[in-house]
């Protein structure tokens, strides 16, 4: 039986630091992400940029990189004219790029009393593929079998490519979380975290209360951690406190930068701050989080500050 990789990291240090946004940094590298495939589009055009961003986050202190597979799906690639074989190869490539960046980074450092960083394969929600706003509500109107058929090929591909674990992230739907947890059993040597999006500090995006969600996942041996991401910092911290009351699993939080996203106009408002992000993390830890990082609009600077603040205390 494989060993839970998150548990191994947390044995070395009391806090595990995730990476930050991939899209933000890819745009800084000159990539155009205005496309339904989002960061997966860069797989086709400039894969070296993805590897470079992963390495930036490792150098900033991240214990884990999340792959560019959030929106890399068989249906999405099929609509671009790719065969099933080509699509699976592209999905595997997301893991290969992150592993390559990790291994190159690992060879360059003098790793004393440090666990080798992980590669978590992003399993984004069904709604991200639909690109119709349903990823913010979780109201898909689909059967369990439709969700199984959608998620299974990508999960199989990233496991075969050697991901250390799966990041079932930005999940707005209780139905989808149940399906993903069930599918994970088809890959008995794999572990995953499940991370929800929020309506408020007590409910996920589809209105299911967090207590119900964590109760559903708590007995799944392969679910290594539960938490929230892609949410404003304040309500994400409230959600962490609630989750911590109902599970002994590690709780994770990787919120947005502090800016607010408007899905109607596809624009961000307000101003995020690495300093604000750093200070806010004190509340996340106080509420019970042991895995922290950043989501939309966060950068290696945000992650560097988190690592400097918490890894030295670990």
Alpha helices, H only, 249-293: 274-287
Q: Give me the pLDDT at residue 26, please.
A: 87
List the structure tokens of 35.
Answer: 């496309």
* Coil, strand or helix at 258: coil
Answer yes or no: are the C-beta atoms of 142 and 126 closer than 8 Å: yes
Strand boundaries in the chain, DSSP class E: 16-17, 64-66, 118-123, 165-171, 192-196, 198-200, 203-204, 223-229, 251-254, 260-262, 267-269, 291-292
Total domain count, the chain = 1
Strand partners, 194: 168, 226
- Exposure string for 161-178, b = 16+ CB within 10 A, e = fewer: bebbbbbbbbbbbbbbbe
**The domain containing residue 258 runs over which residues?**
5-310
Q: Give me the pLDDT at residue 111, please.
A: 74
Answer yes or no: are the C-beta atoms of 169 and 124 closer than 8 Å: yes
* Residue matched to tokens 């994770």: 252
Per-residue pLDDT of the chain (314 residues; tens, 9 = 90+): 589 999 999 998 999 999 999 988 888 888 877 776 766 778 888 999 999 999 999 999 999 999 999 989 999 999 988 899 999 999 999 999 999 999 999 999 987 778 899 999 999 999 999 888 888 899 999 999 999 999 999 999 999 999 999 999 999 999 999 999 999 999 999 999 999 999 999 999 999 999 999 999 999 999 999 999 999 898 999 999 999 999 999 999 999 876 565 555 555 555 555 558 889 999 999 999 999 999 988 999 999 999 999 986 54
Looking at residue 311, what DSSP letter applies?
A: T
Looking at residue 225, what DSSP letter applies?
A: E
For residue 220, which of 253, 254, 177, 170 has the smallest C-alpha distance? Answer: 177
Answer yes or no: are the C-beta atoms of 230 and 200 closer than 8 Å: no
For residue 168, which of 157, 179, 10 has the smallest C-alpha distance? Answer: 179
Q: Give me the pLDDT at residue 254, please.
A: 97
Whole-number CA gyration radius for the chain: 18
Residue 60 sits in a domain of what CATH number? 3.20.20.330
Q: Give me the pLDDT at residue 288, please.
A: 97
Q: Give me the pLDDT at residue 61, please.
A: 95
Residue 59, Cβ neighbours under 10 Å: how many? 15
Distance, in Å, from the CA atom of 110 to the CA atom of 163, rounded to the nearest integer, reads: 24
H or E, element range at 303:
helix 300-310
Q: Give me the pLDDT at residue 269, please.
A: 52
Distance, in Å, from the CA atom of 303 to the CA atom of 308, rounded to the nearest integer, reads: 8
Answer yes or no: are the C-beta atoms of 3 and 224 closer than 8 Å: no
Answer yes or no: are the C-beta atoms of 78 and 130 closer than 8 Å: no
Looking at residue 116, what DSSP letter applies?
A: P
């Amino acid at each position: 039986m494989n060993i839970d990789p998150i548990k191994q990291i947390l044995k070395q240090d009391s806090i595990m630091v995730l990476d930050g946004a991939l899209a933000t940094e890819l745009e800084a590298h000159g990539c155009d992400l205005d496309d339904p495939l989002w960061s997966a589009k860069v797989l086709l055009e400039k894969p070296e940029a993805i590897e470079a961003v992963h390495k930036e986050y490792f150098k900033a202190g991240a214990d884990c990189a999340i792959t560019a597979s959030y929106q890399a799906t068989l249906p999405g690639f099929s609509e671009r004219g790719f065969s099933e074989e080509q699509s699976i190869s592209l999905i595997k490539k997301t893991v290969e790029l992150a592993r390559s960046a990790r291994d190159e980074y690992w060879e360059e450092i003098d790793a004393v009393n440090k666990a080798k960083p992980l590669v978590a394969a992003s399993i984004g929600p069904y709604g991200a593929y639909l690109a119709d706003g349903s990823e913010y509500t979780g109201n898909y109107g689909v059967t369990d079998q439709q969700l199984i058929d959608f998620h299974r090929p990508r999960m199989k591909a990233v496991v075969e490519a050697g991901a250390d674990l799966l990041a079932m992230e930005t999940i707005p739907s209780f139905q989808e979380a149940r399906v993903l947890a069930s599918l994970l059993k088809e890959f008995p040597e794999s572990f995953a975290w499940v991370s929800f999006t929020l309506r408020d500090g007590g409910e996920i995006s589809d209105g299911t209360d967090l207590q119900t969600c964590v109760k559903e996942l708590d007995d799944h041996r392969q679910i290594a951690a539960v938490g929230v991401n892609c949410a404003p910092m304040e309500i994400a911290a409230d959600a962490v406190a609630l989750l911590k009351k109902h599970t002994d699993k590690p709780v994770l939080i990787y919120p947005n930068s502090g800016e607010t996203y408007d899905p109607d106009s596809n624009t961000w408002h307000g101003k995020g701050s690495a300093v604000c992000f750093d200070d806010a993390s004190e509340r996340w830890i106080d509420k019970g989080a042991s895995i922290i990082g950043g989501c939309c609009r966060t950068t290696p600077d945000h992650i560097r500050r988190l690592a400097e603040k918490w890894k030295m205390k670990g």
